[in-house]
Homo-oligomer: A and B are copies of this chain.
Amino acid sequence: MIDELRAVLGDAAVLTGAEIPRKNCSDWSKLPDIEPLALVRPATTEEVAHVLRLCNRYGQAVTPQGGLTGLVGGARPSPSTLALSLERLTGVEQVDARTATLTARAGTTLETVQRAADDAGLLFALDIGSRGSCTLGGNLATNAGGNRVLRYGMARDLTLGLEVVLADGTILSSMNTMVKNNTGLDLKQLFIGTEGTLGVITRAVVRLHSKPAGMLNAFCRCADFSAVLALLASAQTQLADTVSSFEVMWPSFYDLVITRLPQLRRPLASGPGLYCLLEATAADLAADGARFEAFLSQSLERGMLTDAVIAQSQREAGEFWAIRGAGSEYPRILGEINSFDISFRRDDIGRVVNRLESELAARWPGIHALTYGHVGDGNIHLIVNLPGVTTQPKEEISDLVYGVVREFQGSISGEHGIGTRKLNYLSNSRSAEELAFMRRVKRAVDPGNLLNPGKVLPAPETGE
């Protein structure tokens, strides 16, 4: 099979053994490396189809790979799978400013897509920290979220059309460019967020948005979570849905990062309550800036917030966001961490965080449990570290956290996906009927279980 792959793709596109770069043996999940049987790097959709036809003939399983920035092991090879990297299938094919759409190949980095949109005077609204490395195909396969979901939606909401190669090598082209297209099953939905288990995304048409004249940012303090929700609802009404981010940081998070990271500037003194970073887009910087300021003054008068600072410059806005984005610094501050990406009904979040922080502290006195996240979207991140131990009790911590997720009918994954890391907890968020239905679809679309086996869906219970 390797010989046949070489014959089709050329020797340089098929790597084995020591030729395989380490990066292709895992992803940013930090799970241990697994060397794939081989690494293939097709450069066209036709080549991807060739690879999958061959694999189908040989019953060879495949792990699709994008930028390898996932946090749950979705792109990490399973034992004896062929790693299928889309890294050579790159390029923005078209930016159409008049229809506000962009067409790109799966291996194009998010940053390249953003730049191409920007050069055309438009905005590709998806944005996540790994933008320089992650790829559009991976963004769609994992239904990436990020900081502006509140305003622009998830990757799913930004996708109009997809081209996918199925397990048998069939090219399924649904490169729709239309917002309204009710012609039966919306095929792209099956491939978005299923982490390459139903097909390999090769190209996509995405929606672009108008580019704001600028961004307005405020760093606020609210007395409690009820005030946080009131502030958000009020901002969405009074700022006419221009609110693009609404990030909340609990004191557990803010006090630690602001104390331990001297490079961060402290916009508000530590004190009681919660910290919010509110961002809105401006079409007219002067007029919208004045409205933003008036909204904040009024919110202060009404008691929805107790203190606020408005960014007076790009630089200052960047300083606010540096606090929120201090995530990459956690391992340096805390050592080994256990991180969670969980979602809830928006108004459950205050209680959930209190429960999680207090249960963790009761069970492991002195534990660090830092909470922050995209509260506007119901999504929070929790970083846990037990200081002074050589081996973190990762499984026990996960059991506790995902137990609370189950109790509140939350989601064990807001935006990072399932991969292998969360496989055993999927039933905390999905019913037996849902899992059985997903398996039924998987069997129909990939009957040989050749696409990213062992990911997303746990093995069925005996007897199912």
Contact, CB under 8 Å: A411 / B209? no
Contact of A179 among B100, B180, B193, B378 (CB under 8 A): B378
Q: How far is the CB of A93 from chain B (nearest CB, A)?
A: 15
When the two chains form their complex, are residues B187 and A345 in contact, meaning their CB atoms are under 8 A apart? Answer: no
A348 nearest in chain B by CB position: B99
Per the 8 Å Cβ criterion, residues 149-193 of A in contact with B are 149-150, 153-154, 156-157, 166, 170-174, 176-187, 189-190, 192-193
Contact yes or no, A411 B181, CB < 8 A: yes
A186 and B156: CB pair below 8 A?
A: yes
A96 within 8 A of B: yes
- Does B240 lie within 8 Å of A184, measured CB to CB? no
A429 CB–B CB distance under 8 Å: yes
CB distance from A25 to the nearest CB of B (A): 24
Check A413–B183 contact: CB distance below 8 A.
Answer: yes
| Interface: A364 (CB within 8 A) | no
Question: Is A417 an interface residue when CB atoms closer than 8 A count as contact?
Answer: yes
Tell me the minimal C-beta distance from A241 to chain B in angstroms.
Answer: 6
Q: Which of A265-324 contact B (CB under 8 A)?
A: 281-284, 287-288, 291
Segment among A329-337, A384-392, A441-449 that sits at the interface with chain B: A441-449
* Shortest Cβ distance from residue A298 to the other chain B in the assembled complex, whole angstroms: 12
Residues in B with CB closer than 8 Å to A212 are 240
Inter-chain contacts of A180 with B (CB < 8 A): 145, 149, 154, 343, 374, 377-379, 411, 414-415
Most buried by B among A210, A238, A434: A210
Residues of B within 8 Å of A457, CB to CB, are 184
Contact with B along A196-213 (1 / 0, CB 8 A): 001000000000011110
Residues B377 and A183 in contact, CB atoms below 8 Å apart? no
Given A229-B98, A414-B181, verify A437-B172 contact (CB < 8 Å). yes
Determine whether the beta carbon of A184 is less than 8 Å from that of B426. yes
B414–A282 touching, CB < 8 Å: no
Contact check: which of B174, B182, B229 meets A413 at CB < 8 Å? B182
Whether A430 is near chain B, meaning CB under 8 Å from some CB there, is: yes
Chain B CB within 8 A of A456 CB: yes
Partner of A185, one of B174, B183, B194, B211: B194
A438 contacts chain B at the CB level, 8 A cutoff: yes
Contacts of A413 in B (CB 8 A): 181-183
Digit string of A419-463 for contact with B (CB within 8 Å is 1, else 0)?
A: 000100010011101100110110111000000000011000000
Contacts of A433 in B (CB 8 A): 170-173
Least Cβ distance of A122 to chain B in Å? 9
Q: Tell whether A80 is near chain B: CB-to-CB under 8 Å.
A: no
Q: Check A99/B378 contact, CB under 8 A, given A233-B210, A240-B242, A441-B444.
A: yes
Q: Does A344 contact B (CB under 8 A)?
A: yes
Nearest opposing residue in chain B for A99, CB measure = B346
Bound Cα distance A422, B181 (Å): 13
Q: Which residues of B contact A242 (CB under 8 A)?
A: 240-241
Decide yes or no whether A236 CB sits under 8 A from chain B. yes
Which of B377, B418, B434, B441 lies in contact with A445, CB distance below 8 A? B441
Give A173 to B434 CA distance when docked, in angstroms: 7
Residues of B within 8 A of A189 (CB): 186, 189-190
CB pair A184–B437 under 8 Å, yes or no, is: no
Nearest CB in chain B to that of A142: its residue: B182
In Å, the complex CA distance between A179 and B414 comes to 8
A237 contacts chain B at the CB level, 8 A cutoff: yes
Chain A, residues 135-153, CB within 8 Å of chain B (1/0): the string is: 0000000110100011001
Which of A96, A101, A185 lies at the interface centre, i.e. has the most chain B CB atoms within 10 A of its CB? Answer: A185
A176 to B415 CA separation, bound complex (whole angstroms): 15
Complex Cα distance, B242 from A180, in Å, reads: 19
- CB-based nearest B residue for A288: B240
Flag if A441 contacts B185 (CB, 8 Å): yes
Cβ of A410 under 8 Å from chain B: yes
Q: List 27 contacting pairs A-B, 8 Å CB cutoff, sorted by A.
A: A96-B345, A98-B229, A99-B346, A100-B346, A143-B182, A154-B180, A156-B186, A157-B157, A170-B433, A171-B433, A176-B411, A178-B378, A178-B379, A178-B410, A180-B343, A180-B374, A180-B411, A182-B193, A183-B411, A183-B422, A184-B438, A185-B190, A189-B189, A210-B237, A240-B281, A240-B288, A441-B445
Which 9 interchain pairs have the tightest Cβ spacing? A444-B444, A189-B189, A240-B283, A180-B414, A210-B237, A98-B347, A181-B411, A180-B379, A99-B346
